[in-house]
Chain A
């Protein structure tokens, strides 16, 4: 927690912040192993004619959530079928509790006039969301709509969720999940992630779930989803990379940490702490992709999860930037990812990347919004998004996925060096009024890495607390 957040959460700080109208960041709840997916009551609603109620009810039931639903026969039947002892809910009910989450199936909305279902559900409830609560709207991808009117109405959901994200406050987040028809049984991994404190710093994002993912087995171990899997994490010796390594290890993976030889000591310490392996090499070396591939094939019979986290900054405004700075950033942040990825997926069924593999890239909010002094960096990180887009169809054919996270302001050694004024601006310019932690990025990566999210492919999700930049 940064100092400002600490200060405004002291009794005096609270009073002062309130008096002078300062924003009041809420300390975000984060995941602790063994904790329930969602702590509190979930209100599950939906527009009539939606296709996700049954699936959502089942996800909530499996997550052990306490649930309420409106007294509509389809929703009640869905809850009953899922074995949910769902309390009835009606708009006129004066509830004395707050909701840990509002979940709304908007797939029934097929024309703009029906958007009033959003108002009917969220108007009486949006102010009843608990601290660090969640709002999740699920829709049909506009590109999958059967008619233009449906595409229009579904596209409208994006504006709605992004606006709620800016209103909801109190550390709560909101997401829009577009579910391709046929992907109704692919919701669990994503809905759980967005319900849980794992998604603490992710807000106002739009995620698409496709139908290629494959069903999650009923005995899936949600506590250790990566058990028996091997994960490669580049840039793992410190900061966000170290957090990713330990988060994937927590989820059961054997983590192979990779970093430059200069940081080998740090890398080994990280690997030792999580029972993983250390691989010290420079990913920009010409034979690095081959070396990595053969190491993984030799030591681990392949790899299941690849996290392209390694990245550098060499900031200067373009007029002052020499070619070395430019080239170094492009080489580390972009070209090496392409080369390593190619090396890991070549060979068809005999590729180093195992069947059902997961590739997760780390982009940046700079890559989306651009940033003064970071032309090189922004170029490389926008290129990373290009990688995700370009490789997704090929990986889908292998039952694999590729996605990217785009961190916003994350509290790291790197951001600690930023001058105070700029740092404060970076922190506060988001709906959550604070910076994120490395673990927030790691959790989003773990979600992409999970075997339960096979339908999530080609997505770029920002971990930025709904930053105002590039929004």
Chain B
């Protein structure tokens, strides 16, 4: 039997809860709470109550061990039919978009008709692990058969071992935080403080405008008292941003709390389906999920910056689709840090990077900045790691549909030196 020829997977829309700053509005909400809330909003928006979907794929970067089946638990707590299968994935900040790729591929192959992709993260209700020594002692005690044996093991516990291990935002192989890694890349690419602040300001202004004109109305469902992203500063200005002290890269650093995304909490999901499925339900496809690519770089040996993988993934994706970097009407480059976006753009304009690292004959060139993150991005909205992909897929699909068609590029950098990118078309 020959498999069916691939067909189009379309994005029908999405839903997210407003993103909150860490230890704030959602400080007591768990990943399960937030992802369920995002799912429930989606179910309500698209009338999916009681529907059995093909798959729900989502994940969280910071996850409790008890949440091993997080997405499935959320499906069970949602109004989707309990017969809807679900699975968790984790690819750091690429989780949400990678989930969309998986769902879109199954749709394209005819394996499912409709699915939900997304992600959630909390930096407030973060999992604390036992001190590694304590964990070892407890496991030893558990293996003992007698009470005496257990006591003997437990007597090994020392007070300092009672302090929990707090999850750290650092690369295990380099011991450097993501911000410190990016500070190096930013310095390498000569990204100035002014350029970063400018990008940050535009992100806030664009997101604020998007809320003002109602663009977010059918993308966001209020949660726990938040109606808009808590990090959004509509009155953000270059002057205010310029006052902030550098937080990465030492005293001479260019990266501040204003041009780096804050730790945040939130969840986002997107609904993808086959065209037939959408038609049957009278749902309007916003955009086609055309193609995607994932890349990784060797940041461990310092050969490439930690967050530079999208700079490799995009050219491969363009090549496969016979496109140039300029063939897009909208660009969604996830703003993990303003300098990450600017470093990526600088690399694409650099003859050396493009010939030597990418093996191209010439640079990809510059993009029209007025097409970049037109409805704001992570600097303004916040960035609950795994939730970002779902936010961007839904927002870009809607923006493309809204402008009556066009092509959009998504680029998301991720920890571990990875990058996930995709093309949507309406």
Asked whether the complex places CB atoms of A and B closer than 8 A, the reply is yes
A interface with B by C-beta (< 8 Å): 69, 71, 73, 76-77, 79-81, 83-90, 92-94
Closest to A77 in B: B351
- The reply to whether B250 and A94 contact each other, CB–CB distance below 8 Å, is yes
Q: Which residues of A contact B87 (CB under 8 A)?
A: none
Question: Which of B108-116, B140-148, B183-191, B314-322 faces chain A?
Answer: B183-191
Q: Which residues of chain B from 180 to 199 have a CB within 8 Å of any chain A CB?
A: 184, 187-190, 192
Closest to A72 in B: B190
Given that A83-B356, A85-B357, A87-B188 are known contacts, is A92 also in contact with B254, CB under 8 Å in the complex? yes
CB-contact partner of A92 in B187, B350, B352, B356, under 8 A: B187
Other 12 A-B pairs with CB < 8 A, given A71-B189, A88-B188: A69-B352, A73-B351, A76-B350, A76-B351, A79-B352, A80-B356, A81-B351, A86-B352, A88-B189, A89-B190, A90-B190, A94-B249
- In order of increasing CB-CB distance, the 10 nearest A-B pairs are A90-B190, A80-B351, A85-B356, A93-B187, A80-B355, A77-B351, A80-B352, A76-B351, A79-B352, A86-B352
Task: Determine if B346 is an interface residue (Cβ-Cβ < 8 Å).
Answer: yes
Q: How far is the CA of A264 from the CA of B335 in the complex (A)?
A: 78
Q: Which residues of A contact B254 (CB under 8 A)?
A: 92
A-B contact pairs, 10 of them (CB 8 A): A71-B346, A76-B350, A79-B352, A83-B356, A88-B188, A88-B190, A88-B346, A90-B187, A92-B192, A93-B187
- The reply to whether A92 and B189 contact each other, CB–CB distance below 8 Å, is no
In whole Å, how far is A56's beta carbon from the nearest beta carbon of chain B?
Answer: 14
CB-contact partner of A94 in B187, B189, B351, B355, under 8 A: B187
- The reply to whether A84 and B356 contact each other, CB–CB distance below 8 Å, is yes
Q: Which residues of chain B from 346 to 366 have a CB within 8 Å of any chain A CB?
A: 346, 350-357
Bits for B277-315, please: 1 = Cβ < 8 Å to A, else 0: 000000000000000000000000000000000000000
In whole Å, how far is A412's beta carbon from the nearest beta carbon of chain B?
Answer: 44
- The reply to whether B352 and A84 contact each other, CB–CB distance below 8 Å, is yes
In whole Å, how far is B60's beta carbon from the nearest beta carbon of chain A?
Answer: 34
Q: How far is the CA of A92 from the CA of B353 in the complex (A)?
A: 20
Q: How far is the CA of A90 from the CA of B192 in the complex (A)?
A: 10
In whole Å, how far is B33's beta carbon from the nearest beta carbon of chain A?
Answer: 42
In whole Å, how far is A278's beta carbon from the nearest beta carbon of chain B?
Answer: 51
Task: Determine if B235 is an interface residue (Cβ-Cβ < 8 Å).
Answer: no
CB-contact partner of A71 in B250, B252, B350, B356, under 8 A: B350
- The reply to whether B352 and A89 contact each other, CB–CB distance below 8 Å, is no
- The reply to whether A92 and B357 contact each other, CB–CB distance below 8 Å, is no
Closest to A80 in B: B351
Q: How far is the CA of A86 from the CA of B188 in the complex (A)?
A: 11
Q: Which residues of A contact B252 (CB under 8 A)?
A: 92, 94
Closest to A86 in B: B352
Q: Which of B184, B190, B192 counts the most chain A CB atoms within 10 A? A: B190
In whole Å, how far is B333's beta carbon from the nearest beta carbon of chain A?
Answer: 19
Q: Which residues of B contact A69 (CB under 8 A)?
A: 352
Q: How far is the CA of A71 from the CA of B350 in the complex (A)?
A: 8
In whole Å, how far is B251's beta carbon from the nearest beta carbon of chain A?
Answer: 10
- The reply to whether B187 and A86 contact each other, CB–CB distance below 8 Å, is no
Closest to B304 in A: A87
Q: Which of A84, A85, A88, A89 counts the most chain B CB atoms within 10 A? A: A88
In whole Å, how far is B295's beta carbon from the nearest beta carbon of chain A?
Answer: 17
Q: How far is the CA of A81 from the CA of B350 in the complex (A)?
A: 12
In whole Å, how far is B424's beta carbon from the nearest beta carbon of chain A?
Answer: 31
- The reply to whether A89 and B188 contact each other, CB–CB distance below 8 Å, is yes
In whole Å, how far is A141's beta carbon from the nearest beta carbon of chain B?
Answer: 30
In whole Å, how far is B254's beta carbon from the nearest beta carbon of chain A?
Answer: 7
Q: Which residues of A contact B184 (CB under 8 A)?
A: 94
Given that A71-B346, A90-B187 are known contacts, is A80 also in contact with B250, CB under 8 Å in the complex? no
Given that A71-B346, A85-B357 are known contacts, is A90 also in contact with B352, CB under 8 Å in the complex? no
- The reply to whether B357 and A71 contact each other, CB–CB distance below 8 Å, is no
- The reply to whether B356 and A90 contact each other, CB–CB distance below 8 Å, is no
Q: Which residues of A contact B354 (CB under 8 A)?
A: 80
Q: Which residues of B contact A90 (CB under 8 A)?
A: 187-190
Q: How far is the CA of A73 from the CA of B363 in the complex (A)?
A: 11
Q: Which residues of A contact B250 (CB under 8 A)?
A: 94
In whole Å, how far is B197's beta carbon from the nearest beta carbon of chain A?
Answer: 15
- The reply to whether A88 and B350 contact each other, CB–CB distance below 8 Å, is yes
Q: Which residues of A contact B352 (CB under 8 A)?
A: 69, 76, 79-80, 84-86, 88
In whole Å, how far is A15's beta carbon from the nearest beta carbon of chain B?
Answer: 30
In whole Å, how far is B357's beta carbon from the nearest beta carbon of chain A?
Answer: 6
Q: How far is the CA of A25 from the CA of B44 in the complex (A)?
A: 78
Q: Which of B352, B354, B356 counts the most chain A CB atoms within 10 A? A: B352
In whole Å, how far is B206's beta carbon from the nearest beta carbon of chain A?
Answer: 27
Q: How far is the CA of A93 from the CA of B192 in the complex (A)?
A: 10
Closest to A94 in B: B187
- The reply to whether A92 and B351 contact each other, CB–CB distance below 8 Å, is no
Q: How far is the CA of A94 from the CA of B185 in the complex (A)?
A: 10
Closest to A68 in B: B188
In whole Å, how far is A86's beta carbon from the nearest beta carbon of chain B?
Answer: 5
- The reply to whether A92 and B190 contact each other, CB–CB distance below 8 Å, is yes
Q: Which residues of B contact A77 (CB under 8 A)?
A: 351
Q: Which residues of A contact B187 (CB under 8 A)?
A: 90, 92-94
